[in-house]
Amino acid sequence: MTARSKIVVIAVAALALFSLRVVPLSAQAPVPAPSQPAKPPITVTVASAPDVSGAIPRLPDGHPNFQGLWHNDVGVEALRKAGLGDIHSPGTPLPFPYYPETDKIREYRDLHDPYHDPEAHCHVPGVPRIIEQPSSIMPFRIIQDEQYVTILFEYVHDLRIIPEDGSSHPKNYWAWDGDSRGHWEGDTFVVDVANFNGRSWLDMDGNFVDENEHVVERFTMTGPNSISYSATVEDPTVFTRPWTMHLNLKRNPLTDQIVYYDCHEGERDVDHYTRSEGNAASKHE
């Protein structure tokens, strides 16, 4: 992506109404031990204020009832400031704590190789990207009982079946979305995600993780139509220390349903990427 096109996008993004803060994590939820304890973790908030009106619905077992159709309220401006999305401006500091070597990889991918974003080739996005980027316009349905929280995503038929028993991750297994194991901490559903295949990008700007990615997600219902979501990401071979992304999930209208989405059916996009975007087969520079 050229710098000029991104500048135009940034100008557009100024019309968005979402807020963002990048603040030290002194008052936030516990996170995994940082690899460099002298530096505090980083928090990226890509959300407006949560809706706290009304009572939280509950299942017969007493846990909050997350069931329903949800999307996130991430906005273009928030994504831009967070350094996520398709909208990062070169020269703008990123909040993500890359090592110098891994930041060079990110920068190269951002400026010269968006063609190889796995999502452009219809792979599932991984975690937490599946909650963040496509789910802003394509909702997901949560189905829940006393044993499992299941998330059905409209986007590329992605699916996460999360046991609630806090069981261990399997050995010698990896996947694009990793392996998710959940447990309850009061009213918060905490999901530990590991066993990633290490091929996922975090967005369309080249932010990435490898097979050492480990994510702790926290789902906290703040009202009948609002869930506060956070994902703490650590990857000791990519980032110098963990970072946490916060966003809010909002309930879709009750009349809305998941609508069929398929990435392969009529895909014609990546062929139009130019050589400067990483498409070596393109006739256009």
Of the pair 41, 83, the CB lying nearest another protein is at 83
CB-based contacts of 265: which residues, under 8 Å, 6+ apart?
none
Part of the chain binding another protein (CB under 8 A), chosen from 27-35, 81-89, 184-192, 237-245: 81-89
Q: Which residue in 27, 37, 55, 265 binds another protein (CB under 8 A)?
A: 265
21 binds another protein (CB under 8 A): no
Of the pair 2, 36, the CB lying nearest another protein is at 2
111 binds another protein (CB under 8 A): no
Of the pair 4, 171, the CB lying nearest another protein is at 4
281 binds another protein (CB under 8 A): no
**Smallest distance from another protein to CB 180, Å:** 22
260 binds another protein (CB under 8 A): yes
**Smallest distance from another protein to CB 171, Å:** 32
Binding mask 128-147 for another protein (x = CB under 8 A): -----xx-xxx---------
Q: Which residue in 31, 69, 78, 151 binds another protein (CB under 8 A)?
A: 78
Of the pair 73, 234, the CB lying nearest another protein is at 73
Of the pair 164, 205, the CB lying nearest another protein is at 205
Part of the chain binding another protein (CB under 8 A), chosen from 95-103, 111-119, 210-218, 227-235: 111-119
Q: What is the DSSP string of the chain?
A: --HHHHHHHHHHHTT----EEEEE-TTS---PPPSSTTS--EEEEE--PPP--SPPPB-TTSSB---EEEEE---HHHHHHHT-SS-PPTTSPPSS-B-HHHHHHHHHHHHH-GGG-GGGGT----TTHHHHTGGGTS-EEEEE-SSEEEEEESGGG-EEEEESS-PPPPSS--BTT-EEEEEEETTEEEEEEE-B-S--BSSTTS-B--TT-EEEEEEEEEETTEEEEEEEEE-TTTBSS-EEEEEEEEEPPTT-------SSTT--SGGG--GGGT-TT-S--
**Smallest distance from another protein to CB 61, Å:** 28
Q: Please report, as residue ranges, which positions from 48 to 77 form the binding site for another protein (by CB under 8 A).
A: 71, 73-76
Q: Which residue in 120, 131, 149, 151 binds another protein (CB under 8 A)?
A: 120
CB-based contacts of 11: which residues, under 8 Å, 6+ apart?
none
Are β-strands 42-46 and 243-251 bridged in parallel, bridged antiparallel, or unpaired? parallel
245 binds another protein (CB under 8 A): no
Q: Which residue in 20, 69, 79, 162 binds another protein (CB under 8 A)?
A: 79
- Cα–Cα distance, 148 to 165 (Å, whole number): 8
* Longest alpha-carbon distance in the chain: 61
51 class by beta-carbon count within 10 Å (0-12 exposed, 13-18 middle, 19+ buried):
middle
Binding site for another protein (CB under 8 A): 1-2, 4-6, 8-9, 11-13, 15-16, 18, 71, 73-76, 78-79, 85-87, 114-115, 117, 119-120, 122, 133-134, 136-138, 154-156, 204, 250, 255-257, 259-270, 272-274, 277, 282-284
